[in-house]
């Protein structure tokens, strides 16, 4: 039986494909709209330690005008044959009367029984999937809520007004680095560039193996790689640049993630050999697959991750310092000589999901060439910057030694005194140390690695003021940002007060829950009717609510930690 | 007289003597030697103090949290060069300058190398020892990369500190040769007696240090090429035309050869003539002796002899002497470019006869080496051409 996560993701994929094909969105234009996904779980009356989960997917606005409801739900059922849940489709007339927010032209509901642990995992999988979608569909927003026995957690996923890089065929890559790596370990003051600067590779046609049926007559699969160092090297103006990890993101037609975390094998077996597509030796990098990809992160999770192994010669390097991540995006698109049909896109997607390794292996040579050139270009500046840095270090060393030679060799005591006083040094050794430090400090922050973008003093997300910025497109000329970009993704609306009806938390004692507290207690709201996200945080209420909130947190912690069975 | 007369009769040098008299009169009219506006000889303590001052400036910048910068006159720009008839090419008083920054990726290495060479010079001056530019290069050839880098930085330092290179205790390797009526004592006490025989003496490496210079020479002949110089030695030209001095820089002259010519002119005011090929390269070499080079314009006062005259081979001589056409060589594209470049230089405008000769060359599109005269006779150069030129004032 397929889980809720798979079902939701497949439905969303199918919706987006349908949307793209049926609403007449022209090639190059970005899809725009809003979807609401809610999961409401209550303790099952029939099974122990089980939650009955009702999942609702609804649209906000008239995004899906033209959708033939019955036909659509039939198609959904056909693509999820193993999904035994009951799929309901609410008609437009019926939904509108319940709608509080105003407009919900359609809504589909399905119900499953799940273990609490499975529900939590599904929630994380869905969130990751939504993050992956909004990275290439910046004008689509998702409201995702999970209510477990009355405890509600609501998140909004969207990347409005963030800088993007336009790709072909109606998708654009969000280039705000904070989606891909966590904030570097040094202070905000040293962050100088909030963007990644992808290098787009040459598109190549993929070859389909003979034993993979049914694709020959449909069209062509075109792979376009894009690579970028993250964060921008400018962030590391005072740090030693080094690549410490590689993240690979696989996207299929219509900018949809090809695989879910649970589906990685065997789709990504081709990537188990870290050097199958990329020669890392030329960069003196030794990579190993990184299997530790926790779902419970607010970042966009890659499909494949490599970790750089430190060589014996690098023992002196400070391995604790955060290095850079090389992001590699592989976009596979479908082209035919005619306007693409929905079924063709879906078939292409399914083919890639199942046979990606075989297809990439069959196309090894062309894919390798394209990816290698892309990675070379992305790392070229990195290496040039590293060389410039080495050159600077060598030159400063010569300058310092030369000055030391003159000062220490001088027979003029007044000259030596003046020199020591200038740097407030007591003796020759201190003078040398301070001289080197002065040169280093003065030259470092000016001797910046190349970055084509303007300096953007990036504040912590919580401190961002609401500012309107245009969607920016990455190109070779610097984009002038008017200020900090508005980050809408992952805004959590935490409600202040608790609901009394959330007594039965002990049913979740055995559930393995994420370490991060997501739920906030509040009075329940009718299913499917969510307030329009305002982008603002609702602050907790008065003293009583604070204490109730704290109690709820402690109750939830019991839910999160494994405990004795009731 | 210090030397036994073996040359022509005294009447042979009448025109030369008149020429010398006119040069001396011109000098007197000009108020004597031109004021030294460029580099000047500096004592060791002055040089050390200058270098210490540079270091203090660097440290002051660092203490103020500013990146240290060296500001150097832009020697390679014609905008910063002016021409004075009495001096030749020299740098303008308020010339454009370039900055060598310590915080720029492009210039940080240059900044460091300047400090490196300053530290080497500091040690040389302190210990009163000397080194050539080549020696300095070999102190760390990997760091410097190539000799040109060292040469340029040394010139930049000389320009920056406003002291000549010899004051920095960096000696120039001499490649020039002298022959003829000349005697002197070198700094270390060595007595040098340049002969008129078939051997020549190397130009000394420390021109400033030579003393007790004695000569009766009626003229100084600068010969472009070593081959021509040797030929003249073989033909016993120095004795036949005695008293005279011959010098060759073997092509583009080194600093010491230029300094020697300058010193002989400053000391004795003997007429100086050049014997160069009738080609753009030869003309340019002649201009270096006479007017100086752009690169060394900051030291023009120490190096140039504006009184130099062009004796031969003149392009007009080619036609006058009916030199066979098949001995001539067509001007190459590079020759044409160089000729055009020389014609545009500021000093050519005040040398109408030189300009005319260059125009003859440009029109004919042909050049000739001095060796072309051997087609007339093997010793035509030393027995006919040069004596006639000198006797009858065939110089411009």
- The single residue of B138, B184, B347, B385 carrying the catalytic annotation is B138
The lowest-confidence range among A284-298, B41-55, B141-155 is: A284-298
Q: How confident is the model at residue A531, as a pLDDT? A: 32
pLDDT at residue A459 tops 50: no
Could you tell me the pLDDT band of residue B95, with boundaries at 50, 70 and 90? low
With CA atoms as reference, report the closest residue to B27 among B296, B265, B273, B351.
B265
Cα separation values, A149 from A452, A481, A518, A559, Å: 51, 44, 14, 11
Q: Does A422 touch chain B (CB under 8 A)?
A: yes
Rounded to whole angstroms, the Cα distance separating A493 from A525 reads: 14
CB B385 within 8 A of CB B320: no
Mean pLDDT for chain A overall: 72
SS3 B34: coil
- Phi then psi dihedrals of residue A371, to 5 deg: -70, -40
Average pLDDT over residues B257-284: 95
Could you tell me the pLDDT band of residue B98, with boundaries at 50, 70 and 90? confident
Structure tokens at A206: 């993929």
Partner-chain contact A442 B66, CB within 8 Å: yes
For residue B117, give the chain A residue with the closest CA.
Answer: A402
Q: How confident is the model at residue B226, as a pLDDT? A: 95
SS3 A258: coil
Q: Length of chain A, please?
A: 566
Could you tell me the pLDDT band of residue A320, with boundaries at 50, 70 and 90? very low
pLDDT in tens, A229-281: 988 876 554 454 678 899 999 999 989 998 877 665 666 788 888 888 998 88
Q: Which of A422, A424, A448 has the highest number of chain B CBs within 10 A, making it the mutation to test binding with B?
A: A422
Of B60, B105, B116, Cβ closest to residue A447: B105
Q: Which of A381, A398, A407, A447 has the highest number of chain B CBs within 10 A, making it the mutation to test binding with B?
A: A398
Partner-chain contact A435 B62, CB within 8 Å: yes
The lowest-confidence range among A261-275, A471-485, B127-141, B299-313 is: A471-485
> Chain centroid to CA A479: how far?
23
Could you tell me the pLDDT band of residue B309, with boundaries at 50, 70 and 90? very high
pLDDT in tens, B326-361: 899 999 999 999 999 899 887 787 889 999 999 999
Name chain A contacts of B58, Cβ cutoff 8 Å: 403
Average pLDDT over residues A138-159: 92
Percent of chain B at pLDDT above 90? 63
pLDDT in tens, B169-200: 998 778 999 999 999 999 889 999 997 677 89
Q: How confident is the model at residue A135, as a pLDDT? A: 94
The lowest-confidence range among A113-127, A329-343, B121-135, B259-273 is: A329-343
Rounded to whole angstroms, the Cα distance separating A89 from A8 reads: 14
Average pLDDT over residues A503-509: 35
Give the minimum alpha-carbon distance from B130 to chain A in angstroms, rounded to a whole number: 17
Of B55, B105, B143, Cβ closest to residue A403: B55
Partner-chain contact A402 B118, CB within 8 Å: yes
Average pLDDT over residues B294-315: 81
Is B138 noted as a catalytic residue in this protein?
A: yes
Rounded to whole angstroms, the Cα distance separating B125 from A409 reads: 12
Rounded to whole angstroms, the Cα distance separating A38 from A151 reads: 13
Partner-chain contact B62 A439, CB within 8 Å: yes
Give the minimum alpha-carbon distance from B16 to chain A in angstroms, rounded to a whole number: 54
CB B256 within 8 A of CB B279: no
Q: How confident is the model at residue A28, as a pLDDT? A: 66
Partner-chain contact A442 B102, CB within 8 Å: yes
- B97-101/B201-202 β-pairing: unpaired
Q: How confident is the model at residue B195, as a pLDDT? A: 74
Partner-chain contact A398 B116, CB within 8 Å: yes
Of B55, B103, B119, Cβ closest to residue A442: B103
Could you tell me the pLDDT band of residue A20, with boundaries at 50, 70 and 90? confident
Q: How confident is the model at residue A224, as a pLDDT? A: 94
Give the minimum alpha-carbon distance from B138 to chain A in angstroms, rounded to a whole number: 16
Tokens 């204490």 sit on residue: A547
User: Mean pLDDT highest for which of A12-21, A147-156, B291-300?
Assistant: A147-156
Could you tell me the pLDDT band of residue B68, with boundaries at 50, 70 and 90? very high
Q: Which of B100, B108, B150 has the highest number of chain A CBs within 10 A, making it the mutation to test binding with A?
A: B108
With CA atoms as reference, report the closest residue to A396 among B209, B6, B111.
B111
Beta bridge partners of A316: none
pLDDT at residue A58 tops 50: yes
Percent of chain B at pLDDT above 70? 88
Cα separation values, B369 from A104, A192, B309, Å: 97, 65, 18
Average pLDDT over residues A176-200: 74
The lowest-confidence range among A26-40, A443-457, B226-240 is: A443-457
How many A-B residue pairs are in contact by the CB < 8 A criterion? 95
- B244-248/B219-223 β-pairing: parallel
Partner-chain contact A407 B55, CB within 8 Å: yes
Q: Which of A386, A388, A389, A403 has the highest number of chain B CBs within 10 A, making it the mutation to test binding with B?
A: A403
pLDDT in tens, A342-380: 788 888 888 888 889 999 999 999 999 999 999 999 888
Percent of chain A at pLDDT above 70? 62
Rounded to whole angstroms, the Cα distance separating A446 from B69 reads: 14
Could you tell me the pLDDT band of residue A515, with boundaries at 50, 70 and 90? very low
Percent of chain A at pLDDT above 90? 27
Give the minimum alpha-carbon distance from B64 to chain A in angstroms, rounded to a whole number: 9
Partner-chain contact B62 A418, CB within 8 Å: no
Q: Which residues of B touch A (CB under 8 A)?
A: 48, 51-52, 55-56, 58-60, 62-63, 65-67, 102-105, 108-109, 111-113, 115-116, 118-119, 122-123, 126, 143
Q: How confident is the model at residue A343, as a pLDDT? A: 80
pLDDT at residue A504 tops 70: no
| Number of neighbours of residue B147 by Cβ within 10 angstroms | 14
Partner-chain contact A406 B122, CB within 8 Å: yes
Q: How confident is the model at residue B334, as a pLDDT? A: 94
Q: How confident is the model at residue A476, as a pLDDT? A: 33
pLDDT in tens, A192-236: 678 888 999 999 999 988 877 555 556 889 999 999 998 887 655
Give the minimum alpha-carbon distance from B268 to chain A in angstroms, rounded to a whole number: 42
User: Mean pLDDT highest for which of A110-119, A154-163, A481-490, B211-220?
Assistant: B211-220
The lowest-confidence range among A21-30, A124-133, A294-303 is: A21-30
Partner-chain contact B62 A406, CB within 8 Å: no
pLDDT at residue A478 tops 80: no
pLDDT at residue B32 tops 50: yes
pLDDT at residue A150 tops 80: yes
CB B172 within 8 A of CB B133: yes
Rounded to whole angstroms, the Cα distance separating B274 from B357 reads: 15
For residue A418, give the chain B residue with the closest CA.
Answer: B56
> pTM, whole model, 2 decimals?
0.55
Partner-chain contact B116 A407, CB within 8 Å: no
Cα separation values, A409 from A427, A513, B124, B141, B262, Å: 14, 69, 12, 23, 37
Structure tokens at A478: 């610097």
- B69-73/B97-101 β-pairing: antiparallel
Could you tell me the pLDDT band of residue A510, with boundaries at 50, 70 and 90? very low
Rounded to whole angstroms, the Cα distance separating A267 from A248 reads: 13
Partner-chain contact B105 A402, CB within 8 Å: no
Q: Does A469 touch chain B (CB under 8 A)?
A: no
């Amino acid at each position: 039986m397929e889980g809720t996560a798979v079902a939701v993701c497949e439905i969303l994929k199918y919706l987006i494909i349908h949307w793209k094909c049926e609403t007449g969105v022209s090639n190059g234009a970005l899809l725009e709209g809003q979807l609401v996904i809610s999961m409401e779980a209550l303790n099952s009356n029939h099974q122990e330690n089980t939650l009955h989960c009702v999942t609702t997917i609804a649209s906000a606005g008239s995004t899906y005008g033209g959708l033939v409801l019955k036909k659509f739900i039939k198609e959904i059922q056909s693509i999820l044959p193993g999904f035994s849940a009951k799929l309901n489709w609410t008609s437009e007339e019926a939904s509108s009367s319940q709608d509080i927010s105003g407009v919900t032209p359609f809504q589909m509901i399905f119900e499953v029984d799940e273990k609490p642990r499975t529900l939590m995992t599904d929630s994380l999988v869905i969130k990751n999937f939504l993050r992956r979608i909004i990275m290439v569909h910046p004008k689509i927003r998702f409201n995702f809520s999970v209510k477990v026995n009355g405890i509600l957690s609501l998140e909004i996923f969207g990347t409005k007004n963030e800088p993007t890089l336009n790709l072909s065929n109606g998708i654009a890559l969000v280039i705000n680095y904070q989606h891909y790596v966590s904030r570097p370990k040094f202070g905000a003051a040293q962050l100088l560039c909030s963007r990644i600067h992808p290098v787009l590779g040459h598109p190549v046609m993929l070859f389909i193996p003979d034993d993979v049926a049914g694709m020959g007559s449909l069209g062509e699969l075109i792979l376009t790689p894009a690579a970028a160092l993250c964060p921008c090297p400018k962030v590391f103006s005072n740090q030693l640049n080094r690549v410490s990890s590689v993240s690979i993101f696989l996207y299929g037609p219509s900018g949809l993630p090809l695989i879910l975390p649970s589906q990685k094998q065997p789709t990504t077996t081709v990537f188990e050999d870290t050097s199958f597509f990329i020669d890392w030796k030329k960069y003196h990098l030794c990579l190993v697959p990184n299997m530790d990809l926790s779902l419970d992160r607010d970042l966009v999770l890659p499909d494949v991750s490599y970790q750089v192994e430190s060589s014996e010669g690098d023992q002196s390097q400070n391995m604790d310092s955060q290095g850079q991540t090389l992001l590699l995006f592989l976009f596979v698109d479908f082209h035919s000589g005619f306007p693409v049909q929905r079924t063709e896109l879906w078939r292409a997607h399914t083919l890639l999901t199942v046979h990606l390794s075989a297809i990439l292996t069959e196309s090894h040579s062309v894919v390798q060439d394209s990816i290698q050139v892309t990675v070379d270009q992305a790392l070229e500046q990195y290496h040039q910057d590293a060389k410039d840095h080495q050159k600077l270090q060598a030159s400063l060393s010569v300058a310092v030694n030369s000055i030391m030679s003159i000062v220490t060799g001088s027979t003029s005591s007044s000259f030596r005194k003046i020199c020591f006083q200038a740097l407030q040094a007591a003796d020759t050794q201190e003078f040398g140390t301070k001289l080197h430090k002065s040169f280093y400090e003065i030259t470092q922050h000016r001797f910046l690695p190349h970055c084509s973008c303007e300096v953007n003093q990036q504040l912590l997300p919580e401190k961002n003021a609401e500012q309107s910025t245009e969607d920016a497109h990455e190109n070779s000329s610097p984009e002038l940002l008017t200020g900090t970009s508005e980050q809408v993704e992952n805004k959590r609306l935490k409600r202040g007060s608790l609901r009394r009806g959330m007594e039965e938390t002990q049913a979740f004692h055995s559930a393995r829950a994420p370490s991060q507290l997501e739920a906030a207690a509040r009075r329940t709201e009718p299913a499917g009717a969510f307030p329009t996200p305002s982008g603002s945080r609702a602050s907790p209420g008065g003293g009583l609510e604070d204490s109730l909130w704290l109690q709820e947190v402690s109750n939830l912690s019991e839910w999160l930690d494994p405990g004795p069975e009731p | 007289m210090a030397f036994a007369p073996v040359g022509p009769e005294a009447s042979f040098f009448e025109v030369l003597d008149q020429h010398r008299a006119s040069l001396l009169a011109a000098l007197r009219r000009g108020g004597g030697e031109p004021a030294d506006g460029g580099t000047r000889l500096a004592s060791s303590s002055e040089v050390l103090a200058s270098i210490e001052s540079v270091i203090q400036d660097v440290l002051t910048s660092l203490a103020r949290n500013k990146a240290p910068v060296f500001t150097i006159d832009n020697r390679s720009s014609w905008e910063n060069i002016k021409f004075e008839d009495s001096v030749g090419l020299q740098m303008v008083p308020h010339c454009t300058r370039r900055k060598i920054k310590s915080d720029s990726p492009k210039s940080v290495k240059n900044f460091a190398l300047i400090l490196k060479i300053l530290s080497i010079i500091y040690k040389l001056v302190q210990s009163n020892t000397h080194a050539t530019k080549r020696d300095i290069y070999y102190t760390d050839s990997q760091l410097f990369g190539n000799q040109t880098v060292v040469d340029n930085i040394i010139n930049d330092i000389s320009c920056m500190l406003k002291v000549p290179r010899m004051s920095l205790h960096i000696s120039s390797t001499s490649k020039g040769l002298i022959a003829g009526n000349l005697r002197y004592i070198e700094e270390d006490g060595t007595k040098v007696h340049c002969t008129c025989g078939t051997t020549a003496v190397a130009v000394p490496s420390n021109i400033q240090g030579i003393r007790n210079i004695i000569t009766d020479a009626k003229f100084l002949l600068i010969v472009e090429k070593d081959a021509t110089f040797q030929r003249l030695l073989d033909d016993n030209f120095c004795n036949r035309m005695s008293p005279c001095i011959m010098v060759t820089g073997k092509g583009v002259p080194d600093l010491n050869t230029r300094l020697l010519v300058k010193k002989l002119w400053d000391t004795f005011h003997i007429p100086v003539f050049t014997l160069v090929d009738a080609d753009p390269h030869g003309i340019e070499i002649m201009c270096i002796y006479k007017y100086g080079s752009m690169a060394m314009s900051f030291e023009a006062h120490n190096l140039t002899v504006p009184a130099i005259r062009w004796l031969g081979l003149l392009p007009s001589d080619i036609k006058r002497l009916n030199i066979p056409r098949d001995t001539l060589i067509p001007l190459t594209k590079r020759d044409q470019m160089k000729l055009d470049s020389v014609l545009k230089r500021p000093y050519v405008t005040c040398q109408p006869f030189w300009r005319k000769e260059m125009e003859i060359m440009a029109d004919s599109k042909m050049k000739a080496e001095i060796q072309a005269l051997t087609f007339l006779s093997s010793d035509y150069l030393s027995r006919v051409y040069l004596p006639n030129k000198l006797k009858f004032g065939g110089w411009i």
